[in-house]
Amino acid sequence: MKTLCRCCLLLTLPLLALIACYLLYILFCQHFCAQLCWLSCQYPEEQDGHFSTVPGSPIFQGYSRVPDGKPLGRALCHQCAVVSSSGQMLGSHMGKEIDQRECVLRMNQAPTQGYEEDVGTRSTIRVVSHTSIPLLLRNQSYFFKESRNTVYIVWGPMKLMNREVVGMTYRTLLKVKEMYPGLKLYTLTERMMARCDEIFQNETGKNRMKSGSFLSTGWFTMILAMELCEQIFVYGMVSDSYCREKDRPPVPYHYFEKGILDECRMYLAHERAPRGGHRFITEKAVFSRWAKRRHIIFNHPSWAEEGS
């Protein structure tokens, strides 16, 4: 009898320990994803919904919240407006149409105030380059206090965005989040940054780094829109052939920086730069291929009219 029980104990104790471990693992996995649970986190896309904030919403694993690292969870948008920062927006009168789209995506520090007639007023998501963070900070009350419903998604190189060995930009984001606790602030994960590079390589046949290219905020925004939106309406983006055609009236590179830089001059200079250039024109050629497979419509200028 005695030996039997000792035997039971010997069997049940490890079993109990195992169950306890398993429960702890499930409980803490989300919080210490990188350090503890790399196995289950390696392919988190396959675990449907269990990180979700809104029940039943899709989870976007490529975007993680500051500071807790929770992935972005939100409903898909039926229709998105992607509003370019280009000078093409000036005089477009697209504001009303843009505001009618379920979700409005903007980039960097592009303001709406003072340009409502052309660019609209709503901002669902703002995709922001690490280089634009200081510009947003210069106008904090406008961006972080008033635009409380906007989700900010920041991209940047790992060196600056690292959360473990806190990178410079990430440190700034932590401070911003402390100052504005209600702010919805996310960063692209390291994996997502790598994926955006890989998409560039797959689409252009060129290695992003070896070809001396920087991806533009527009690239990250279009990739996000492809995940988030059923239909994408792009405003103010020119096609890849636009700047190679003659007699294009000059427009500012950014609608909110009138008369400083001409858009096409800027695009062509970047396209030719051997190092450190944004390949705006190459990227647009890729977008036009995506538009053949997905519902993507380009307005003002309309790409359909150009037959490109």
Binding site for ligand NAG (CB under 6 A): 111, 113-114, 138-139, 142, 195, 198-199, 202
- The span from the CA of 206 to the CA of 58, in Å, is 32
Comparing CB distances to ligand NAG, the nearer of 143 and 186 is 143
Q: What backbone torsions phi and psi does residue 125 show, to the nearest 5 degrees?
A: -135, 140
CA distance 302 to 235: 9
Instruction: Determine the 3-state secondary structure of 46 from DSSP.
Output: helix
Residue 9 burial by CB count (10 A; 0-12/13-18/19+): exposed, middle or buried? exposed
Please give the structure tokens belonging to residue 114. Answer: 């003072």
Work out how close the CB of 131 gets to ligand NAG at its nearest, in angstroms, rounded to a whole number: 17
Give the shortest CB-92-to-ligand NAG separation in angstroms: 17
Distance CA 159, CA 100 (A): 39
* CB nearer to ligand NAG: pick between 201 and 308: 201
Q: Nearest distance from residue 244's CB to ligand NAG, in Å?
A: 28
CB-nearest residue to ligand NAG: 111
Token pair 């499930």: residue: 26
| Closest approach of ligand NAG to the CB of residue 45, in Å | 13
- Residue closer to ligand NAG (CB basis): 102 or 190: 190
Taking the least distance from each CB to ligand NAG, the nearer of 65 and 195 is: 195
Residues constituting the chain? 308
Q: Judged by CB, which is closer to ligand NAG: 139, or 302?
A: 139
Under DSSP, the state recorded for 108 is T
> Nearer to ligand NAG by C-beta: 3 or 202?
202
* Minimum separation from the CB atom of position 208 to ligand NAG (A): 12
Q: In the bound complex, what is the minimum distance in angstroms from residue 82's beta carbon to ligand NAG? A: 20
Rounded (5°) CA angle 79-81-73: 65
